[in-house]
């Protein structure tokens, strides 16, 4: 027998008035016992007729979606552009920091979709290759390089604290790789770590390879074509391109200008830019 909920509510009330137990009412009407219990509680407070009126009004038509203040929309859009197209989670972080306002991530992305073409989310539960784990600072540092035409950037990151360093060079050689190793270990990674991981590029051979043992207990070369083994440094490299040097090819005579951009970026990266992997904190506020 197919009945509307209004009819079922009335029957539930009548059966309950006759002393029928709630669980028996639920079985007879094909409803969950908690649903029957909630109906009867509301009827006790409002009376049957008033409850039926309110129930019917609540079910009419589609609910009007809650609108967000236009000022908040402009804050969200401005933060998105100011912070180099950052994600909704980071926009939420800056809204709290700057305006003491908490907005759901779903609502932030809804506002962003009004103005921007958003990428689809990455596929979850994808099998990934082995990545060395780090339970504390200075356990694992990943290193890599980026080609900017006449300028090359050597990059490194502590995968636990997300502290990072960049060294610019006019050539991609093992000699400059060694200079980067000395600079980054001295000024960023406390001179010695447990493991340094690089790819198999020529810049991490010869002079670099001969001296790397002075700065770590073990040097590991990531397997070729397994980008996920270098996931932290690959992610950092994308950030360097997106938020600092871009995809431009720089002539070697612009290396000093690039260096200024890099130092400014590292200052912002370590003290201002939040990381989801750090609980929306910055690298130099968690150590």
Tell me the average confidence (pLDDT) per consecutive run of 10 residues in the chain, 287 residues long: 75 92 90 91 90 81 71 94 91 94 92 82 50 87 96 97 96 96 96 94 94 95 85 95 95 96 96 90 80
pLDDT of res. 133: 84
pLDDT of res. 54: 87
pLDDT of res. 164: 97
- In the 8-state DSSP scheme, what is residue 215? T
Cβ count within 10 A of residue 275: 17
pLDDT of res. 62: 60
pLDDT of res. 63: 59
pLDDT of res. 2: 44
Q: Of the candidates 63, 61, 85, 76, which has an alpha carbon nearest to the alpha carbon of residue 110? A: 76
pLDDT of res. 1: 36
pLDDT of res. 177: 97
Both tokens assigned to 49: 């007729």
Give per-residue burial for 170-208: e unless 16+ CB within 10 Å, then b: eebbbebbbbbbeebbeebbeeebebbbbbeeebbeebb
pTM for the predicted model, two decimal places: 0.67
Both tokens assigned to 60: 């009419």
């Amino acid at each position: 027998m197919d009945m509307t909920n209004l009819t079922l509510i009335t029957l539930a009330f009548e059966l309950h008035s006759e002393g029928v137990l709630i669980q028996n009412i639920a079985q007879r009407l094909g409803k969950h016992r908690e649903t029957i219990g909630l109906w009867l509680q509301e009827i006790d407070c409002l009376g049957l007729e008033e409850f039926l009126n309110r129930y019917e009004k609540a079910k009419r038509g589609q609910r009007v979606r809650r609108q967000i203040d236009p000022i908040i929309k402009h804050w969200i859009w401005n933060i998105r552009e100011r912070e180099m197209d950052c994600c909704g989670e980071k926009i939420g972080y800056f809204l709290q920091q700057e305006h003491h306002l908490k907005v759901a991530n779903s609502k932030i992305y809804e506002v962003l979709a009004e103005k921007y073409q958003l990428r689809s989310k990455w596929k979850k539960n994808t099998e990934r290759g082995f990545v060395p784990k780090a339970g504390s600072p200075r356990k694992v540092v990943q290193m890599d390089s980026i080609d900017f035409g006449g300028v090359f950037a050597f990059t490194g990151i502590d995968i636990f604290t997300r502290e990072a360093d960049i060294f610019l060079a006019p050539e991609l050689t093992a000699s400059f790789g060694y200079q980067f190793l000395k600079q980054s270990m001295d000024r960023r990674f406390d001179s010695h770590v447990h493991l340094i991981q690089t790819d198999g590029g020529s810049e991490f051979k010869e002079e670099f390879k001969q001296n790397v043992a002075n700065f770590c207990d073990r040097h590991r070369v990531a397997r070729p074509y397994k980008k996920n083994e270098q996931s932290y440094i690959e992610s950092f490299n994308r950030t360097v391109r997106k938020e600092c040097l871009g995809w431009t090819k720089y002539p070697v005579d612009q290396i000093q200008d690039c260096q200024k951009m890099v130092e400014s970026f590292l200052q912002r990266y370590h003290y201002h830019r939040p990381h989801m992997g750090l609980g929306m904190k910055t690298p130099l506020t968690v150590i």
